[in-house]
Structure 1
């Protein structure tokens, strides 16, 4: 799964990376511990250009009676999304990119759960494959929300977790955002594990476990008890 991630770049860097000409997002500060149910930055394409906006993390289907269902839809399994009522329409028509520069997973060790941060070796931004929806309450209020697609882990992630988020290769991003592409067969090849040799994983502080913590110290390399024992 993908339950926490980081986005530590500036708004200007995001706009350049994704060719965004203008945005209604008023402000963005570096985020070191993005968590479920928060408003997250996302990119969609309106048929002419890429747009940057905010979505609530945890997809709420239009037919939902209660928006709290979003807590159960933080992630969508890429292998079965096309057959699930909540995800099949967004997969065909409402795809988005969730920009990130790292994500966290918790590795089971002899000393308990150790948080790990996974990044590109280049430390560059990357694109998580997402789906989005709009839900309107009986009173007329609207919530735009999203989920992050997951896939089987590569060789780097497998010892850490049994799932990993779908990371799009840069050359596949525009196809993913292209709303005119609705055939699942055209999209399925994009939903594969990212190459392990392009990623790096390292231990970080247990402080990342609390959503109240959100500062740059969370992404510092952390010496674990296991590493101390080896010394």
Structure 2
């Protein structure tokens, strides 16, 4: 699973990297310890309402998907991850698979490995910001405003990553970002395609053990990703 991750890359760099057309309001500050229910940056490409081409946007979203039919925002607390094996069928996620797919920029993520006495956190990262496969939804809040929320898709870990944890986020290869975001693409086919390429996309990632301070949601700063002594 992916329950904590890092995004310290400035929004200006993300705009260039993901070829963003417009930037939304309230984007989160750089963070080395992003936790569920907090605001995260997502790249989305909503279906246009007229003949104009789609507009790619960098938006702030609540991490934990709240579907349109939810009665309460708390539904999202248990929907910060979605398993690729069942996302296309589950009512919580299937509309997202069909036409509301997102990219979640990340410098890396944390995973906990069971040790002899306690779980040991590891930081998994690349040389450049990663794009994690996500889904998004809009939910009308009691005050009439709209909440954008998102979830991160996970798949079975392979290679060295499997030694840390059995699950991992789906890393979208750069060449597949456009098709994944395109709301006109067949959702299930897009999902199958990114999952098939995920092992290769994640093949060059590095990982190392870090200090246990990352387990505290209030802890933040670049020291969290430093290798443990």
Relative to the length of structure 2, the TM-score reads: 0.91
Quote how far apart the aligned CAs of 1:205 are: 1.0
CA contact (8 A) 1:25 1:52 kept: no
Partner Cα separation in structure 1 for residue 42 and residue 26 of structure 2: 14
Q: Give the equivalent residue in structure 1 for 2:74.
A: 68
- 1:201 aligned residue (162, 186, 207): 207
1:85-115: CA deviation from partner (whole Å, max 9, x where unpaired)? 0111110110010000100000111131110
CA contact (8 A) 1:45 1:178 kept: yes
1:152-208: CA deviation from partner (whole Å, max 9, x where unpaired)? 101111111110000000000000000111341343121244335411110111000
Quote how far apart the aligned CAs of 1:12 are: 1.2
- 2:94 aligned residue (82, 85, 88): 88
Partner Cα separation in structure 2 for residue 185 and residue 168 of structure 1: 14
CA contact (8 A) 2:28 2:40 kept: no
- 1:190 aligned residue (191, 194, 208): 194
Secondary structure, in 3 states, of the residue corresponding to 2:125?
strand
- Structure 1 position 115 matched with structure 2 position 131: no
Structure 1 residue ranges, 4+ long, deviating more than 3 angstroms after superposition = 25-29
CA contact (8 A) 2:158 2:199 kept: yes
Q: Which has the larger radius of gyration?
A: 1
Gaps of 5+ in 1: 224-231
Partner Cα separation in structure 1 for residue 4 and residue 185 of structure 2: 29
Partner Cα separation in structure 2 for residue 12 and residue 72 of structure 1: 31
Partner Cα separation in structure 2 for residue 165 and residue 212 of structure 1: 23
Relative to the length of structure 1, the TM-score reads: 0.90
Gaps of 5+ in 2: 47-52
CA contact (8 A) 1:131 1:149 kept: yes
Q: Give the equivalent residue in structure 2 for 1:30.
A: 30
Instruction: Tell me the number of residue pairs that the alignment of Structure 1 and Structure 2 aligns.
Output: 221
Alignment of 1:147-166 (within 5 A): 147-166=151-170
Secondary structure, in 3 states, of the residue corresponding to 1:221?
coil
Partner Cα separation in structure 1 for residue 40 and residue 58 of structure 2: 10
Q: Give the equivalent residue in structure 1 for 2:129.
A: 125
CA contact (8 A) 1:90 1:131 kept: yes
CA RMSD of superposed structures (Å) = 1.5
Partner Cα separation in structure 1 for residue 145 and residue 33 of structure 2: 28
